[in-house]
A and B are shown apart, each in its own frame.
Chain A
Amino acid sequence: MLTELTIASAQGGLKRRDFSAVELTQAHLAAIEALNGRLNAFITITAERALDAARRADAVLAGQDAPALTGIPLGIKDLFCTDGVRTTAASRMLEDFVPPYESTVTANLLRDGAVFVGKTNLDEFAMGSANITSAFGAVENPWKRTGEPDTVLVPGGSSGGSAAAVAAGLAMGATGTDTGGSIRQPAAYCGIAGIKPTYGRCSRWGTIAFASSLDQAGPMARTVEDCAILLQSMAGFDVRDSTSVDVPVPEYRAACGRSLKGMKVGIPAEYRVAGMPAEIEAAWEQGIAWLRDAGCEIVNVSLPHTKYGLATYYIVAPAECSSNLARYDGVRFGRRVPGESLDALYEATRREGFGPEVRRRILMGTYVLSAGYYDAYYLRAQKVRHLIRRDFEEAFRMVDVLLTPTAPSPAFAQGEKMDDPVQMYLNDVFTVPASMAGVPAMSVPAGLSGSGLPLGLQVIGRSFDEETVIAAGSAIERAASFAHRPALRAEVA
């Protein structure tokens, strides 16, 4: 089945002409046709464009020196602006928005020959942990609990559409964005790999902003090597993003399978939280044993401000979101709801255009930035954020990477945990601290829960040292030899 291939193996197959780029794209479009009605992983399917791109890819492949991603079908999170293709951020606000420009990350992928099959679903403006806030409906996780074929599980958020598409074989890889865990947590829930690179490694130009000091694009794919291949294309300095960092991009793929002898792996004590399920603890212990067997030295470390990560995040991210989303006022682009006065137009547009979670976060952000509360909330949160980063800096004086679980539980069902916003926020407890610090972090599938659902382990590294993260992730992947596939997938559709 062409939809079962990794990107690495498809590259070889395309070069050898075992199959054409058109055949590869058609196989994925057929899978989308069969399964998207149920999974709702894509908001927009670009079949015609994809086939045109695949035909061009076949012409390029007939010559010499085809770029690395020539003919590879990818899903693009619908937060990346794509020239001439509707880009919604899963919001009614941008339901009919057609960007006249291409984001830098997607332009890089197109430069390298990738074929975009469609725009993947997400939480509205990337705000959510379960992909239930999309104006285009929830995404279904293709995995099923053992013996519960009718229970609909969430794919995680906010890149849940990308994760579900990749896990079910609707795309070979996908782009995601991660603000507090939105690549790693859905990757863990859907049994795939995903890396949030260092803040500044991928350009944010043309990516719809949520919280600018945290948002970072990254790849999601079924293997660590495929993530490395995609990140190679996505990363790089961009003069149009003032937070983009001008440092060379190493050969990420070469880090896969690299020896870990002598590497120091930190186990942060504070990630052993009360009430964590025993099977998460067991998966973590297994990961520690695998890395020890691979020649790593295991070191106990402390990140004392871990417990404050989430609360800090829920001040900083809404504050930045309230500022970023001020642009959606019904005047220059996006939805407009008419009003008698300009203020009435703004208020009506923003009431109708934004869903409840986005409205809640804008209000929260407006409050913590408002006169009289700025110092008590926002300024204090920025100081705590500094302490969180300092914890990582101290730890990375002693160790090369940190190993933790990615999420405190496997995927949960639609309807569970959904009454209280704080309960929902807790799903990101292990991913948020690395986001606050801006360091790279990756989730790798490590095993199955007792209920038959994938569990992820997270590797966190030093700034701009994605290579070591990939090397450790690759070792875990090899040891885990995770070959399980979800119940809903292309080859059984």
Chain B
Amino acid sequence: MSLDPATVRRIARLARIGIDESDLQALQGELNGILGWIEQLNEVDVGGVEPMVGTGHAALRMREDWVTDGEARDAVLSNAPDKAGPFYTVPKVVE
């Protein structure tokens, strides 16, 4: 599989990373280089093998459903790039 410029643009769009048209060709070359190298995994017979999601040492734990980190609003907002009162601000989304 090999990425064409349209696919690179589409991935960048999905990842919400703006890319300059001037970077497109270099990026396409690098990503194709990595993908070409990764193709070696097609040699491996993975029939009947379960995917490994994590290392599986920790069993999922349950806990009581109560707030454990509450009352920290000011701390949570302390690094906001822009805020209005106790709210984050963003450009207008709904007309």
**Which residues of A approach B to under 8 Å, CB–CB?**
96-101, 198-200, 213, 239, 242-246, 305, 307-308, 311-312, 314-315, 322, 326, 329-336, 338-348, 350-351, 354, 359-360, 362-364, 366-367, 370, 373, 376-377, 379-387, 389, 420-422, 437-438, 463-464
Q: Considering the chains assembled together, what is the distance between the CA atoms of A422 and B46 in angstroms?
A: 24
- Interface size class, chain B: 35 or more
Choose from B17, B51, B58 the contact partner of A379 (Cβ within 8 Å): B51
Task: Let me know if A363 and B37 touch, CB within 8 A.
Answer: no
Task: Let me know if B91 and A387 touch, CB within 8 A.
Answer: no
The answer to whether A329 and B80 touch (CB under 8 A), given A243-B58, A364-B34, A382-B53, is no
Q: Considering the chains assembled together, what is the distance between the CA atoms of A98 and B81 in angstroms?
A: 12
Q: Smallest Cβ distance from A421 to chain B, in angstroms?
A: 6
Task: Let me know if B79 and A377 touch, CB within 8 A.
Answer: no
Task: Let me know if A98 and B18 touch, CB within 8 A.
Answer: no
Task: Let me know if A305 and B18 touch, CB within 8 A.
Answer: no
Q: Smallest Cβ distance from A100 to chain B, in angstroms?
A: 4
Task: Let me know if A242 and B93 touch, CB within 8 A.
Answer: no
Across-interface contacts of B5 in A (CB, < 8 A)? none
Choose from A334, A382, A384 the contact partner of B79 (Cβ within 8 Å): A334
Contact with A along B27-51 (1 / 0, CB 8 A): 1001101100110111010100111
Give the number of A-B contacts (CB < 8 Å).
Answer: 164
The answer to whether A340 and B91 touch (CB under 8 A), given A100-B75, A314-B38, A382-B52, is yes
Q: Smallest Cβ distance from B24 to chain A, in angstroms?
A: 11
Q: Smallest Cβ distance from A491 to chain B, in angstroms?
A: 40
Task: Let me know if A347 and B91 touch, CB within 8 A.
Answer: no
The answer to whether A360 and B30 touch (CB under 8 A), given A329-B16, A350-B16, A351-B19, is yes
Q: Considering the chains assembled together, what is the distance between the CA atoms of A463 and B60 in angstroms?
A: 18
Q: Smallest Cβ distance from B35 to chain A, in angstroms?
A: 8
Task: Let me know if A367 and B91 touch, CB within 8 A.
Answer: no
Q: Considering the chains assembled together, what is the distance between the CA atoms of A338 and B90 in angstroms?
A: 9
Task: Let me know if B88 and A354 touch, CB within 8 A.
Answer: no
Q: Smallest Cβ distance from A266 to chain B, in angstroms?
A: 20
Q: Considering the chains assembled together, what is the distance between the CA atoms of A370 and B88 in angstroms?
A: 30
Can you list 9 A-B pairs with a CB-CB distance of less than 8 A? A330-B81, A333-B81, A342-B93, A351-B17, A360-B31, A362-B15, A367-B7, A380-B41, A383-B50
